[in-house]
Structure 1
């Protein structure tokens, strides 16, 4: 039975190696498999090594095995993340925990120890390094309106959870807070929420936040007292991406903006260099202003993220495009004390 398990395990490890090309990890898995099954390698090591050294290795193995399993599981299969803010209300709430599927949507292998699950906090973060993950081939493709967890693009240790709104190659635009993709209006979900204004008798301006579902269920008289707080003039308290559009766009009247796609070729102009230069410099290691020709072809796919709480979310309208390599996975389960909406 143990020989059969060893044979099946070796086949699995070989498949893992051909998929991941991780030779060190594959050798480590063979050693672990051997220790639980036929113990051929273990027996040889025990005979070769001095008893004291063998005891140290044995105890270290017992201590480290659960840690290695946790790193492997959280890197390749599933992980759990904490929701810290209200940017996804009423879909997700602060203090919720979400489970994400990593293996189906392209495992992201950390290039630096700082980004390894479980043990990463023990290492110093890399400075000015943005290409921090290597993506393995996905079994499924991400879709528009998937809720995903991704590494913050500002080189911090934060992980954010938002909804994919713009796919690679899309043209995104917001008109009076309504999203248009390739000039077509995107259907709104019941859980999307906005700030609404109410003017009371003493002329004080009050703001309330309602989801589409909550607003629709308001009594007719109450509805007429509220107006969606659409920002039509530049609001300098809310930083917009790109900086070159800060004086022209708002969080509710935004774009048009083309989202970069792998293989997409653009003709460089003074305006679009201002839009794409930071993302290309960070994630593609190219300075567009130093190129000799007038065209650039993108090396990676990028996404545009937005929070469901549209007026209370710091998202791609502020920090720009998110490279595919930064997306850790798709949300598949949420654990919450509040469940107002189902998926």
Structure 2
């Protein structure tokens, strides 16, 4: 793993910080603090003997000297004090991010009109099962991704990158996208025409529809200027399960893998190009926009 990839892996950085600060906290509580106490008791005993001698000689001692000495001897070194202070906070953030909810920022327009560039979203990490942090290994299965879910996953061609798309095909499904219309297992998906959508970032209009993906209604965009075929699909695992022609493509989703597409259909690099998402790449289910600094009114659920 390169240094650059480590810097880009926030979960790994959090794990390392939690581990290091936790070790320091543990050593201080169970070893170093006890040693400081023993050394302080010895020093205080010597202090008491010396003070008794001075008192017997009629020398008046300054009050509070013993308390100040004890406080100084028991004081944690700065590096231990800071580590111990940060450990509970870092550990809590690591636990929440790893097993409950993780924040993400939408970097592109591939999920318009559902998600905008700059949307800060929350992803449920336990909906699809409990996974070990950093290595992302599932240790407890709960629910499987369903068609229509908006899912965050590790990009199959570069797992250090997180992608977000919509699940359109689950294991065993035959997904067909011809002339910009989707069908799953031979069933045509229902569409309802909506007013054209203005992409304010690029200042262009797109055709907008409501797509009913086996019970999950959501909006999609189509660009009439773009052709329906997939240009230059990559060479990916199980590529033989897909066929491409001038009108689009068809793919049969293999076991334990998922077919993903962006809602901005003609402006999304998704499973049509780089293939299926293995179960081990799943991060979680996106469900809530908690902030968009450019448009605070977008806060809320998006399903």
Do the two structures share a fold, i.e. TM-score over 0.5? yes
Aligned to 1:316: 271
Take 1:227 and 1:150, find their aligned partners in 2: how far apart are those partners? 26
Could you tell me the TM-score, scaled by structure 1's length?
Answer: 0.54
Correspondent of 1:231 among 219, 227, 231: 227
SS in structure 2 opposite 1:212?
Answer: strand
Q: Residues 23-81 of structure 1, C-alpha deviation per residue, up to 9 Å, x if partnerless?
A: xx9xx99x99x9xxxxxx94676325677896454442212321222111101110110
Alignment of 1:17-56 (within 5 A): 42=29, 46-48=33-35, 55=77, 56=79
- Which runs of no fewer than 5 residues in structure 2 stay unpaired? 1-17, 40-72, 199-203, 211-221
Conservation of the 8 A alpha-carbon contact between 2:233 and 2:273: yes
Aligned to 2:208: 211
Q: Does the alignment pair 1:240 with 2:239? A: no
- Distance in 2, matches of 1:312 and 1:258, equals 23
Question: Considering only CA atoms, is the larger Rg found in Structure 1 or Structure 2?
Answer: 2
**CA 150–190 in structure 1, closer or farther in 2 if over 3 Å, else same:** farther
Deviation at 1:305, TM superposition (A): 0.4
* Aligned mates of 1:186, 1:179 — CA distance in 2: 6
State the alpha-carbon separation in 2 of the partners of residues 60 and 193 from structure 1.
55
2:187 to 184, 187, 206: 184
- Distance (whole Å) between structure 1 residues aligned to residue 122 and residue 195 of structure 2: 21
Q: CA deviation at 1:317?
A: 0.5
Distance 2:128 2:84 in 1: 31
* Partner secondary structure for residue 47 of structure 1: helix
C-alpha distance in structure 1 between counterparts of 2:246 and 2:151, whole Å: 21
2:149 is aligned, of 146, 167, 181, to: 146
Cross-structure match for 1:259: 253
Q: Work out the CA distance in 2 between the residues paired with 1:149 and 1:251.
A: 30
Contact 2:196/2:205 (<8 A) preserved: no
Residue-by-residue CA offset, 1:154-210 (whole Å, 9 max, x unaligned): 225321111000101111111211111111112347789899xxxxxxxxxxx8412
Corresponding residue to 2:101 among 78, 84, 100: 78
Distance 1:339 1:212 in 2: 20
| Residue segments in structure 1 that go unaligned for 5+ positions in a row | 1-24, 35-40, 112-131, 196-206, 214-225, 262-300
1:99 match: secondary structure: strand
Q: Residues 254 and 230 from structure 1, CA distance in 2 versus in 1: closer, same or farther, beyond 3 angstroms?
A: farther
Preserved CA contact (<8 Å) 2:207 2:223? no
Matched residue SS, 1:162: strand
- Rounded to whole Å, the distance in 2 between the matches of 1:61 and 1:156 is 33
Give the match's secondary structure for 1:174: strand
Per-residue deviation, 1:108: 3.1
Superposition CA RMSD, Å: 4.2
Number of equivalenced pairs: 225
